[in-house]
Amino acid sequence: MLNIKKSNWAMFCASIVTCLFVTMPGLADAAPTHAGPQFVSGSYADPDVQNYNGTYWVYPTRSTQAGEPPGTGVKSVDLFSSTDMINWTKHPNVISSANISWLQHSLWAPSGAYRDGKYYLYFAANAINGDGQLGGIGVAVADHPEGPYTDAIGAPLINVVRNGAGPMDQDVFIDDDGQAYMYYGSWGECNVVKLNADMKSLGTWPDGSVYKKVTPTKTGDNDFFEAPKVFKRNGIYYMTYSAGIWADSSYKVMYATSSSITGPFVPKGMMLHTDTTMSDGPGHNGIIQSPTTNDWYIFYHKRYLNSSPRVLAYDKFEFNADHTIIPVKMAVEDNFEDGDDAGWTKYGGTWTVSGGQYHVASNPGAKALLDTNYTDLIYEADVTPGSTGNAGVVFRVSNPGTGADAYQGYYAGLDVPNQRVLIGKANNNWTSLATAPMSLTSNTKYHVKIVAQGESIKVYVSDMTTPKINVTDSTYTSGSVGVRTYDSAAKFDNVSVQNSRYETENLVVSGTSGVKHTMFGNGTGRDLSLSSGFGTTLEANAVNDYVTYTVNVPEARSYSVKVGVKKGPNRGQFQLSVNGINHGPVQDLYANALSYAELDVANITFSSAGNKSFKFNVAGKNGSSSGYNLLLDYIKLVPN
């Protein structure tokens, strides 16, 4: 769960359309593109997000804390507010068992709404399994968004199971005509009900019914499991929802669309899923839009790779021209403008955040790491070294501990006393790999970039076109990233990491011919034959159908382009083009039985680094094939 970067600010006005919708006239404010590694401290999940008069309010599920009795579940709700989506204020215990007479255990998935001067908080409680049990969806009301909230009706609002939908994970959506609706459901089914003007009683549909089933059409792959969230854009109703198992890597966000408030909702694809380089099981989300910039944001929970508690994050997302959602690519970034280092694990030293920088006092070998697992990467950070020792970045780190060389991995540092850049590797001892002279001044900020691909490691300082150091070493192939100091006080800022070779978990569709694009190998479990458990499918039906992906090219040079594919009976042929130019021969994906292969597609010389459009155009099909489909696992760029 590593996405942070509080840059690229976007001006936000007040009336914000939200998945748990509330619209109010308000003030202009600003928002970053990402929020992470997590935007509030502590373990929280299931975030709803609202905007009231220019202030953002996040409604999450709180995890059990030390000292609370086991086995009874959490019995209170904390809220978080922010005017800039960077600095958040905690509002603890806005409602609890003290305010809800029928609450016995498990208060979770709160969501918010506003109407006629009152603020409403909807929640799930007691986890009922059928009619006649005490529990379901409740509603509380307050005069202020921070509460205190009181139970509005003294009983559950919905306490029955209809159409197989568990009464939980509710989402309030207010349409353009002012009619309020509540979508809710778990156990694989979803309902919508009308809310009356009092926001605490249910209305009826024209046919006299109360509950309408609106479960997105089931296809057998990533079907609806829970947590519907609805928003409207260009006359289209979008429902995001969670699929997979909430406790493991299969948990993810899918979405469906409809022209009607009551559906049918047709699945359109995946919006957010596990990325094995940075975070696990993202899901149960909220949505919010800026009406002034047209920027959209998804708030969600996720897990770090090596820990089970859930934490909160958000990312900006965008739409294709055909109104489909471009899948979210979670980021690994931190510029410390939020004043904390949530998500970093420290090994030795005294670490503090102030002035938008990460400070460490002089220490013989202090490290701070992000829970990531990168093989090939582009890692950038601003490093301000002190007058003694050296300071810099570590990568491909494993087995970290407290001590100067208590880790396995690589370190690139700025050595002011000796006026040099250095790189070496540690394994409870230190091995120097290379040094390069450079004029360095203490307490001066330098931009450092590492480009590591296979055994090739390049270190750039200030000049991002010519590496200061270029070495080869194959000792360590993957691991965490972080920052480090050796006998030097130092500051760090603008940390950013991205995958430089595989796009396995990050194949983000940037355009299609309009045919269905889905994911494969990520239903209730992983397809272990995939390189990292996920692949993408273009369900093509004709020659010249296509799918394109935006792929980051780390540096200007010649690469061998390899593509991991899943061959099979209904596969087509494709021609690869990059930025509109065809490369390599036509590739045939037909096979008698399902199999995986890595194809050597082309050798391409790129004149510049940066994002390139990789287009897979359907060129035909094998005479024995039953279809034109393309199933892609990853794109790999191997430097020549």
Q: Is 156 left (phi over 0), alpha (psi -120 to 50) or beta?
A: beta
For residues 157 and 146, is the Cβ–Cβ distance under 8 A?
no
CB-count burial class (<10 Å; 0-12, 13-18, 19+) for 207: exposed
Lowest-confidence segment of 18-22, 259-263, 341-345 by average pLDDT: 18-22
* pLDDT, greater one: 233 or 269: 233
Q: Per-residue confidence at 222, pLDDT binned at 50, 70, 90?
A: confident
Listed range (64-78, 140-154, 314-328, 405-419) with the worst mean pLDDT: 64-78
Active-site residue (options: 46, 280, 405, 505): 46
What is the average per-residue pLDDT within 205-214? 98
Q: What is residue 46's predicted lDDT score, i.e. its pLDDT?
A: 98
Contact indicator for 21, 47 with CB cutoff of 8 Å: no
Could you tell me which of 294, 183, 193 has the C-alpha nearest to residue 240? 183
Q: Which DSSP state fits 226?
A: E
Checking if the pLDDT of 288 tops 50, the result is: yes
What pLDDT, on the 0 to 100 scale, is given for residue 527?
65
How confident is the model at residue 517, as a pLDDT? 73
Following DSSP, what letter does each residue of 518-536 receive, concatenated? Answer: EEESBSSSB-TTSSSS-EE
Top-confidence residue, 606 or 291:
606
Q: What is the residue type of 485?
A: T
The side-by-side arrangement of strands in the sheet containing 180-184 is 171-174, 180-184, 191-195, 212-213
| Separation of alpha carbons 540 and 388, rounded Å | 61
Q: Select from 108, 175, 117, 165 the least CA-distant residue to 141.
A: 117
The CA–CA distances, whole Å, from 204 to 157, 192, 210, 478, 595 equal 14, 11, 5, 57, 53
- Give the pLDDT of residue 15: 32
pLDDT of residue 459: 98
337 is catalytic: no
**383 falls in which pLDDT band (50, 70, 90)?**
very high
User: In this structure, are strands 558-567 and 136-142 parallel, antiparallel, or unpaired?
Assistant: unpaired
pLDDT at 523 over 90: no
Q: What is the pLDDT, as a whole number, of residue 294?
A: 77
b/e string for 6-22 if b means 16 or more Cβ within 10 A?
Answer: beeebebbbbbbbbbbb
Residues 193 and 261 sit within 8 Å (Cβ to Cβ): no
Give residue-wise pLDDT tens across range 3-49.
333 333 333 333 333 333 333 333 334 557 887 689 999 999 999 99
- State the Cα–Cα distance between residues 575 and 474, nearest whole angstrom: 34
- For 624, the token pair is 């024995």
Residue 463 burial (CB < 10 Å; 0-12/13-18/19+)? exposed
291: three-class secondary structure by DSSP: coil
Query: What secondary structure does DSSP assign to 387-443, as a single string?
Result: SSSEEEEEEEEES--SSTT-SEEEEEEEETTTTEEEEEEEESSEEEEEEEE----TT
CB 450 within 8 A of CB 476: no
Quote the percentage of the chain above a pLDDT of 70. Answer: 90
What does residue 506 show for φ and ψ, rounded to 5 degrees?
Answer: -125, 25
Query: What is the pLDDT, as a whole number, of residue 532?
Result: 59
Instruction: Say whether pLDDT at 398 is over 90.
Output: yes
Task: Encode pLDDT of 561-605 as tens digits.
Answer: 999 899 999 999 999 999 999 999 999 999 999 999 999 999 999
Range in 150-154, 274-278, 510-514 the model is least confident about: 510-514
pLDDT tens-digit map of 55-91? 999 999 998 765 666 656 688 999 999 999 999 999 9
pTM here is: 0.84
pLDDT of residue 255: 95
Determine the straight-line distance between the first and last CA of the chain, rounded to whole angstroms: 33
pLDDT band for 179, please (50, 70, 90 cuts).
Answer: very high
- Cβ-based neighbour number of residue 514 at 10 Å: 11
Q: Are 70 and 61 contacting, i.e. CB atoms less than 8 angstroms apart?
A: no
Among 254, 122, 237, 253, residue whose Cα is nearest residue 182? 122
Taking 60 as the threshold, does the pLDDT of residue 624 lie above it?
yes
Which residue has tokens 């494993």? 398
β strands within 3-152, DSSP E: 10-12, 29-31, 34-35, 44-52, 55-62, 76-82, 89-96, 107-115, 118-125, 136-142, 150-151
The DSSP code sequence of 539-582 is E--STT-EEEEEEEE-SSSEEEEEEEEEEBTTBEEEEEEETTEE
Q: Which residue has the higher pLDDT, 330 or 311?
A: 311
The pLDDT assigned to 499 comes to 79
Tens-place pLDDT, residues 112-161:
999 999 999 999 999 999 998 999 999 999 999 999 999 999 999 999 99
b/e code 343-357 from CB counts within 10 Å (16+ = b): bbbbbbbebebeeeb
Specify the pLDDT at position 606. Answer: 93
Residue range 204-230: mean pLDDT, rounded: 94
**Measured distance CA(224)–CA(534) in Å, rounded:** 18
DSSP 629: B
* Res 220: pLDDT: 78
The predicted structure's pLDDT at residue 29: 42
Catalytic: which of 48, 151, 169, 226?
226
Is 588 among the catalytic positions? no
Give me the sheet containing 236-243, strands edge to edge: 226-233, 236-243, 252-258, 266-272
319 contacts: CB under 8 Å, gap ≥ 6: 233, 296, 325, 326
Share of the chain above pLDDT 90, in %: 71
Under the banding of pLDDT at 50, 70 and 90, the label for residue 335 is very high
Segment 229-247 shows an average pLDDT of 95
